[in-house]
Structure formats: C-alpha cells, structure tokens
Structure 1
Amino acid sequence: MVTLLLLGISGCRVHPHVHWYKDVWDGWAIPKHSLIGWLIKHEALNTRVKLFPLGLCTTNRCVLCEKEEEGHGHLFGSCDYSSKVAAVLEDWLDIKLSIATGISKTQKKVYRVIRLAFWYAVWMERNNCRINLQLRRHGIVADEIKITVKSRLNHVIPRPILVGDKDWIVNLGFCCT
C-alpha cells in the first residue's frame, strides 16, 4: 500500500509547540500550500463529512473515488485517487516519504515541499471535481505537482549545495548550477 505522503495527519489539535510545525511552515514551501497543510493538520477543511450534516451536500461520499466518507484521513490517506497520485510521486522520488530516514536536511526540505504540494493538488482536484464535475487523470495531477515543485525549488535551493544532494536533486530534474 502506498504510504501517501501523510506523516501524522490524525490527532492534531492546537498546541503551543507542535511536532509538525516545520512540516507545514517551511520557508521553501509555497505559502498557499502551507496554508492548506495547516488546515489539514487541524482537520479544518470543509470536507463532505462536515458539509453533509449541515445539509450542504447530498452525500458524504468522497468526490474523487466515491467509495468512502470524505474526511481528512480518507481524502489525504486511503482515497484510491490520491493513492495513485502519491504512487507516481513516490516512484519519481524513489523512496517512501513516510519512511525517509538517513537523508540530508536538504532532502527532508524537498520532501516537505512535495508533500504540501501533494495535499494542495488533491484538495484543488477535489474542488474541481465537486464544482465542475471533472476529474483529471492522476498522472496529469502528479505531473503538475512535479512542475510546480521544480519551479519553486529552482528558486529556493541554496547555492552551493552538498555534492551528494546535488546529484540527488539533478536526478529529480531540478536545475542545480
């Protein structure tokens, strides 16, 4: 099963010092991605599980896969559609993000940016599907995430970088001069 880029979505509440702070508010991340990440960590997005009891939607089923209730855990975890997007990204990275150990600080920051971009893209695709009744193929969404991440990281990755990180970054398709 795909590990889904999650790393601790459930059980988050407001605390003075939270362990996931750097996972969301990373200086390399795109701010709108960080905001969606923060809302996810607080389970504050208006998913169908929240909207259905209020009478704001006719079903609480996931818009993307129509198999389970559309809560945060499902949408960014067990949803078939988001799992397929995550699988493409993990193949690209050649590592499961939830078990990325023994990696450099630069690689951790890149993983954070990708995870936030993944969450943002899944949420935007969910909204597009709900509003416009159109669902793009998971490969297209994953490619869009790659392009967004590459563009962002080409501007924020410090120069010079460590030799090991440089090879890894070039392998992913980032510019690293």
Structure 2
Amino acid sequence: MATTRGYGGAKYFGYTLVGCYEWLRGARTKVDWHKAIWDSWILPKHRFMGWLIAHKSLHTNSRLKGFGLNVDGMCFLCGQADETQEHLFFECAFSRRRKVKNAMVLSAMYHVWQQRNKSRIEQLVLRPSRIALLINDAMKRRVKERDKRKLNT
C-alpha cells in the first residue's frame, strides 16, 4: 500500500484518516447554544448538564423506561406526567415558577446595568463574582419579603 504524509495524517490513495472520519461522522451543523454552554464563566458541572440537555441525553424516567429499565415513567417532582426533559424544565408545576425565573433574569440585568453606570461614572469595575453575590443577595431578600407578606395575609 503506497502511503504519503499529508494534512491530517497518513494519506492512503488520496484519502486521509481525518477525511474518512469526518465523512463517517457526517456533516456537522453549527449550533447556537455552543457559546452559552462552553463559556468559561459557566461551572464545569453546569456545562456538562447543559450539554446533556442540548443533546436530549438526560436520564429522565421516561428515557430510562425506554431503555427497558423497570422504572415508573412519572415525574418525581409533581407525579402528574411522564418525566421528559420538556416536562421537567418547561411543563412541571415545580419548575413553572416563571415569576422567580423572570425576577432572576431582571435582577441580573439590573445589576449589570448598575455596574455599567458605576464604571462609567466612578471608573470602578467590580469583579463578576461580586456582582453575582449582589444578585444572589437581592434574590434572597426578595424571597424573604414575599414570605413575610404571605404569612401576614
């Protein structure tokens, strides 16, 4: 067999190993979630979880049942529907608390804007970890306020 060195390793009759691998793997499509998941600010365990979610690979009860395991397919959190990724993150009563999600997102936006203004006026830039603590503290205060109101009514 005649071999010559080429891009991507040994070349066999005009074909490279890399080229063959890419042909077998198929065309790769560019995904929009890549930068969000593999951002260096994201914790590694969160990156891995995000990757599993993006590939619909979480071992939910429905998926385990589909593998042939003897498990109940119902959601552990609400017990009202099959536990799929879609149900778990978007339909389940446990995770549908959109008010909390909206409050977290808007709190993050508020603190980023505040930081922008501070850095512009005072030329003081806080570390992102400090801003994250401010967001966390603001959310804790809000939850405590809401709990007090519920107890007083």
Instruction: Give the structure-2-normalised TM-score.
Output: 0.51
* Gaps in structure 1 of 5+ consecutive residues: 1-13, 98-102, 108-160
Give the percent of matched residue pairs that are identical in Structure 1 and Structure 2. 30
- Aligned 8 A contact 2:73 2:82 in 1: yes
- What's the offset of the Cα at 1:88? 2.1
- Looking at CA atoms only, which structure, 1 or 2, has the larger radius of gyration? 2
Name the SS of the counterpart of 2:103 in structure 1: helix
Letter in 2 for 1:72: Q
Q: Which residue of 2 aligns with 1:82?
A: 95
Equivalent in 43, 59, 77 of residue 72 of structure 2: 59
Distance in 1 between the 2:85 and 2:51 partners? 12
**CA gap 1:39/1:67 in 2 versus in 1, 3 angstroms:** same
**CA gap 1:82/1:162 in 2 versus in 1, 3 angstroms:** same
Is residue 2:106 matched to residue 1:94?
Answer: yes
Q: Which has the higher contact order (CA 8 A, sep 6+)?
A: 1
**CA gap 1:173/1:49 in 2 versus in 1, 3 angstroms:** closer
- Aligned 8 A contact 2:64 2:71 in 1: no
| Pairing of 1:1-177 with structure 2 (within 5 A) | 15-84=28-97, 87-94=99-106, 162-163=116-117, 169=131, 172-173=135-136
* Gaps in structure 2 of 5+ consecutive residues: 1-26, 120-124, 138-153
Letter in 1 for 2:135: L
- Aligned 8 A contact 1:48 1:57 in 2: no
Query: Higher strand share goes to which structure?
Result: 2
Alignment coverage as a number of residue pairs = 99
The C-alpha deviation readout for 1:115-171, integer Å capped at 9, x for no partner, is: xxxxxxxxxxxxxxxxxxxxxxxxxxxxxxxxxxxxxxxxxxxxxx6326879x486
- Aligned 8 A contact 1:39 1:45 in 2: yes
- What's the offset of the Cα at 1:60? 0.9
- What's the offset of the Cα at 1:82? 1.4
- Aligned 8 A contact 1:48 1:62 in 2: yes
Distance in 2 between the 1:162 and 1:172 partners? 15
- What's the offset of the Cα at 1:173? 5.0
